[in-house]
Amino acid sequence: MEKKVLVTSRSFGQVSDEAVRLLNKAGIQIDYMVSNFVLDEFERKIPEYDALIIGAHPFRPELFDTCPKLKIICKHGVGLDNIPVEAAHEAGVCVTNTPGTNSDAVADFAFALMLAVGRNLIYSVEEIKKGNVKPKYGNDICGKTLGLLGFGAIARRVAKRAFGFGMTVLAYDPYVAAAPEGLEQVKLCTLEEVLKESDYVSIHLPITPQTRGMIGREAFEMMKTGARLINTARGGIIDEDAVIEAVSSGKLAGAALDVLDTEPVAVDNPLLSTPGIIITNHVASYSKEALNAVSMICANNVISCLEGRDVLYSV
C-alpha cells in the first residue's frame, strides 16, 4: 500500500520542487492542507497518514490515539512548542525539526528589522507615497550597544553582523557559560544588565513557561528611554499590550516584531496601527536557500523513517 504524507506547512516545496520530486521518487503520496487549512479538518484527516510535515499550528496530545498509522511528524522549521514531543514518544511517533538551516536567514532578517526600526525606514516609505517629504529622524546602528536575549545559533550570527557595524554586543543566556571561539568580544550578562545597557534588544529565546511574557512592563522600565526592540523568536515572549504602551509613551523609540502571540495577525490588532511598531508576518526564515534546505531535510526524514532508516534531528 502506498505511503502518504500530509503537508500543512505553507512553505514546503514552494521555492523548489526538489523535495517534492524526492518524495514522489520514493513512491510517497503527498497531500496538502495549506491555504485551505482548518484545524478540525486536519484532525479528522490525520488517521489516513503515515507522515506529517507541519508548520506552526497546534497538535493536541490526544490525537495520537486516533492515528495508529502515523510514524513521523516533521516540523518544517525549528520551534517545537506546538508539538507534544513527550506524547509523541509515548505513541512511538518520531518527531524531527531542522536546526541550523535557517540561522543565517533569520539573522539577516533580524538585522534588517533593526535597521528598519532604527532609521524609521517603513515610515519613510509610507510617507513618501502620500507626498510627505518631511523626514523623521532615526538613530545610527553603528557604534551602539546590541543586547541579545538568548545566545544560540541565530543570536551568534546576529552578533557577527553587529561587529561589522562596530556595535558592542551583550548577551543573556542562562545556558551559556562562556562566549564561543570567534565571539569572545560578546559580553555575557544578566538579563537586567542587557536590558539596562542596550540601545537595541533582539530576542532569540524559545517559548517556555519561563520565557512567556518575560518582556513586559517591568522589562521595559529597565530599558533605556529611546531603546528599540526586535523579535524574530516567538511572539508570546513579549507582553503585546505593554509594548504598545512603551512605544506610545516614548519609553521605547520603536519595536519590530516578526512574531506575535496569535498568528496570523488580525487586521484590527492595535499593534498594526501603533506608530513606531513594525509588524511582519513570521517570515524571518523565508529565504529561498533556507526554505529549500528545510524542505529537503523534511522530505529525506519522511523517506528514511518510512523505510526503517535513521533520521536527522530526531528530538
Q: Does the pLDDT at position 253 exceed 80?
A: yes
93 within a domain of the structure (yes/no): yes
Query: Do 24 and 171 have their domain in common?
Result: no
The sign of the torsion formed by the CA atoms of 237, 283, 286, 25 equals: positive
Q: Which grid coordinates belong to 93?
A: 511517533
Query: Do 60 and 199 have their domain in common?
Result: no
Query: Do 79 and 119 have their domain in common?
Result: no
Query: Do 110 and 231 have their domain in common?
Result: yes
192 within a domain of the structure (yes/no): yes
Query: For residue 107, what are the domain limits?
Result: 103-279
Domain count for the chain = 2
Query: Do 78 and 163 have their domain in common?
Result: no
62 within a domain of the structure (yes/no): yes
Residue among 117, 136, 139, 270 nearest 202 (CA): 117
SS3 78: coil
Q: Does the pLDDT at position 8 exceed 90?
A: yes
Distance CA 45, CA 37 (A): 11
312 within a domain of the structure (yes/no): no
Q: Nearest 5°: phi and psi at 14? A: -85, -25
195 within a domain of the structure (yes/no): yes
Give pLDDT tens digits for 182-224: 999 999 999 999 999 999 999 999 999 999 999 999 999 999 9
User: Residue 1 has what pLDDT?
Assistant: 65
pLDDT above 90 coverage of the chain, percent: 92
278, 5 Cβ separation under 8 angstroms: no
CATH number at residue 174: 3.40.50.720
Query: Do 245 and 268 have their domain in common?
Result: yes
Among 263, 289, 307, 309, the active-site one is: 263
Active site residue 263: yes
26 within a domain of the structure (yes/no): yes
243 within a domain of the structure (yes/no): yes
Among 157, 204, 228, 282, the active-site one is: 282
Query: Do 126 and 249 have their domain in common?
Result: yes
Query: Do 178 and 250 have their domain in common?
Result: yes
Q: Give the sheet arrangement for strand 28-32, strand by strand.
A: 28-32, 3-7, 51-54, 72-75, 94-96
Q: Nearest 5°: phi and psi at 244? A: -60, -45
Query: Do 136 and 55 have their domain in common?
Result: no
Among 156, 157, 204, 234, the active-site one is: 234
Give pLDDT tens digits for 285-297: 999 999 999 999 9
8 within a domain of the structure (yes/no): yes
Query: Do 139 and 265 have their domain in common?
Result: yes
C-alpha distances in angstroms, 174 versus 205, 211, 221?
Answer: 11, 12, 22
Query: Do 84 and 233 have their domain in common?
Result: no
Give pLDDT tens digits for 164-184: 999 999 999 999 999 999 999
